[in-house]
Structure 1
Amino acid sequence: MAKKNVGNIVDDLSCLICHQVSKDPVILQSCGHNFCRSCLQGQWRDTEGQDKTCPICQESLLDDKCASNIASLKLEEKVKEPEDTAAVRQMIMAPEDMSDQLTCSLCNKTFQDPVFLKTCGHNFCHICVQKRSTSADHGEIECPTCKLKSPRDGYVHNRVLASLVERVNRPVNQEERQASDQEHKCETHKERITLFCLRDGTLCCLVCRDSFQHQSHRLIPLIEASNLTQGGLFRNIQKQLGLVNDVKNANTEQEQKIAEHKAHKQQVSEHITKEFEKLCTFLVDAQREHHRRLDATYDPIQKEMERNKETLIKKQNKLEKNLEECQKKLVDNDIGILQDIVGFIQRHCETKQIEENITVIKKKPPEGLFKGPILYYTWKDMLSAVQPAASPLTLDPETAHRNLLLSEDLTSASYKPRFFRRVEDSPKRFSCLDLALTSEGFINGRHYWEIDVDGKKDWDISLMKETLNRKEANHILLLGDFWGLSYNIRIGLYLLTEKIIILGISESPRRVGVYLDYEGGQISFYDVQKKDHLCSFSETFTGKLYPYIGTSTAEDAEMKMVHIRL
């Protein structure tokens, strides 16, 4: 074998996880990467019951198979690792020390594209294996060393031997040596680069170490810096792989939410169409207007979801590109890894902003925005064809608090705290809350009614359960038994349910519409004059529900149950 430049073979014999000379080296039979057996087992320790993957290329290992790399083991026995790791990294082995391990036993020549037999672990040239298997019976090949038979495709490319053969076959000439020396010399002092400045992230020579520029800086040998950088890049690759999976999962969830959003839009669209089918053909224009409002409400949300999906895809592509660059950087030599390492990390390893912005948009308009008294608002003069029509509700005098004065027709209530009247107490009557129930309650169906609150500075409207305790003064005790919309001139509109929610609407509507879909579990409130949706409740209703009204301010204005007539 002609004399060749073997170079630093320790790099080729190092574990890709710990970056030290492999101990008990094994080769993965699916991809050909080499590791210490203990390092590989440590990587897989937390993946019990899951598919194993190669720590470098992430290729799935369906059978978890790995085998001792005999050739690597014999070569590593020749490299006696001293205490100083840097010294090991500088070791140069002569070609004759490796020739027996780099020769194919079939052709007796230096390996060409060496492959590793999975059955026995011996190594041969790829072309030799193919020739051997072509002439063998049943497409099998018999190992000339141990005589074990392997299937025709029962081998994997041995990356370690291929790298070593490449080093041995790499010729050395004066021009290459001079170019290499020039490349690795300090540009300022023209001395050989042997150190790395941790503070500045720059390559240095011995003169740089003593210069004013690097005074009090920490400089370490190139090999140690390379090991630290490789470890950091490897951890960053692992982190970016996790982020890629997070982005993929978020993208999948976003697609699901888009599909659900479209399905929900379709359901509401069908509801609108069904409602408008009850009217005559001259209402088609009104129906189209509602569809326009539907699109104007849902489409911006859907477009926002689509834009977010595109953003997630871009983030995924960026992470995959960074991952590819990091993997390329990881297999570079010491100098290549450290050159412009600070800029490289800034360009390819910064993932904090991506982590903080992996979000899935899950917006959905409230049910009551379209599923309400659509036909009533569209054609009041066709009230008889509208379902639900406005219910002509009246108040039950047996439930009214003694401070509430009801009108003779039982449609209005006003607060009269100085008006003393004898009233007979009963379980139905509110003793402490200034409320009154309607005479009619609901246990099914869809219903709609309106209350005139024009001029009132304080009022309460909604529904409550028939079983609610009407003798308690504290609203908190009632939470969960009623669903109310209230107004106070100081705080505006607010909701009373399991918690108090201020809506941020300071102006009181002149007339409030209430829509109940008992089976659908929906209560919605509307500003009748503006035809605006105010808010909605979603609940599973049980038992009988009664509408109620209430006020605790003594204005001249009354709260009135509106009776709409054709």
Structure 2
Amino acid sequence: MQLRAADASSPRRTRSSRSSRSSRRTAPGSRMSIHGSFLSDDQFLCSICLDVFTNPSSIPCGHTFCMSCITRYWDQCEVWKVLLHAVSFLSLSLSERSHAFRLPLQLFQCPLCKKSFPKRPILHVNRTLREITEQFKSMRGGVPVGNGKEDQTLRKGHRGGSGHLMEELKKKMHKKHQDKHKIKGEHHTSTRFPPITNPQPSSVPDRISAAPPPPRQISPSNPRRRYTLSGAACSQNIPVCPIHQRGILMYCRTDQVCICPECEIEDHNDHDTVTVEAEWMETKPKLQGSEQEIQEMIRERTRKIEEIKMSMTEVEMAVERETASSVCMFSMLTSAIERSQAELIEVMEISRRAAEQQADSMIKQLEREIEELQIRDRALGELAQSDDHLHCVKTFQTLSSPPPSKDWSGVSLNCDLGTSAVYRTLATMVKKFQEELQKVTESGFPGPLIEPVPVQALPRVKRMQEYALDVTLDSHTAHPRLVLSEDLKIVWCGDRHQHMAENPERFDRVVCVLGQQPISSGKHYWEVEVGGKTDWDLGVARQSISRKGKINYTPQNGFWFLSLRDKSKYAFRTEPSTDVNLNLRPHKIGIFVDYEKGQVSFYNVDAKVHIYTFNDNFTENIYPFFSPCTNKGGRNDMPLIITPIVLTE
């Protein structure tokens, strides 16, 4: 349903005002002559209350009304528009209602020009116009428009002469000014209107020529138009037809539009028409159903908003969870790869140094054998030149027997870099990561993706390293086949026995050696590089152990050490042996001793993981224990190296 709003611009100027404008001219012999309509009351009337402005306020279209009038008008406008919209809404189908429900109501219009505003304008008092209005009210003496003796006096003054009029006006202005000054004590008013004690009639024509004309008379033929919430009407709150200027009192059901009686006669004569009131009384019972339907739509959308908000909260939580899990996953993967890379580089460097030491040892041994063979060769050459047959026969028997030498046919330099174990561990880790990543793709993050491959993380490495013990080998305890470096930090097994002084401290059957530093209290830590050796023993032994003949390596006999056999079998020497399963092959072993607690712990230094801890009770001095084991024909001839302790973060 459409509502025909009243026309905006009802002309405010009368014929007399237009004629008064045309009569404004400059009087001869004077500076300026202004017609009396300059102070016409029409210029200060509010189109809503039909009274002189009180706190005049201009709206965005430029028209001015009393602040209270325009505020009350827009308050009523909201209610009126909602009712009309409800009537129109109930006459629509469900699909049309859905569309109409989304259409905004243009609630706020100018009462004169009907210009609509999308939002309710913010009103402010026009201070300049308010001052002019107050002055005009003071000149009128507060008498209502069109009534009172003073208004008649003003009209008589206008007919009798401008000088007399101005005297009356100035007297009234001066008296009003003095009264206001006494009551309010406003100093600026007295400066704006100074008292006039002896006005001169001769000066009046230079300022103004006449008093304001009398206000227009209100009669049935010329009613004063009052602007209400739907347009201009004769003081009734009824919208006016913009074509016929009649009140909109009828409703055409055929065209679904509100009309005036003239419209019904001219354009809707054969249509189904009723009064607006009758239509509303018939439509009003449907209002409750429509209201319930709208409220249900509101509730449904409110529930949907809550549902969306909850979904958004779940999305944010899921993002935080996925972000944390993914960061953890990639951090662990990156850390594992970096660790493997560092380990691989270190393993290759250790293998290079071990191969270099092995090559130097083999070259020195070959050079010694070559030197012996060269001596024998020179002796045989001299024997061939000798004429002493008896000497030649005796000497030849000695020289002809092969010298004691090593069979070098099956000996070669160990070129195994020891990286296969690192690659296998890395491949296992990558495979596990791929499996977990596939699970994440299918079902999301269940929890920690990659568990550390080692059994237990190395606790407080830096603190243990602060207990570093500078260990050196004790040559008096070394087995005759063991070769020690000059700095007593490196030991490996040679091919044959060396000539060494016999003493009670020396091991005569087992290829092992003790450290020089006794441990009788406190905490101590040292590291030994094992490289790619296939067999070794590392740990501690007490001072009173047996060193001659066959030895049973158990804690009951004073030995606490970790062993490697056949390059892959790790065990702690107990009765029976305790197998230790390692996923990552160590290339440097850290040994930590807490004498008071009776603890001996072993760590993989490169991977920073714990290997094994044995608890016992120490009752006497203990010493670091080292055994490179036999070289197994060159397969296990890499040395054990006591490395300096480097503090790590």
Would the TM-score normalized by the shorter structure come out above 0.5?
Answer: no
The answer to which structure has the higher strand fraction is: 1
Larger RCO (CA under 8 A, 6+ residues apart): 2
**Greater Rg, structure 1 or structure 2?**
2
TM-score, length-scaled by structure 2: 0.28
The answer to which structure has the higher helix fraction is: 2
TM-score, length-scaled by structure 1: 0.32
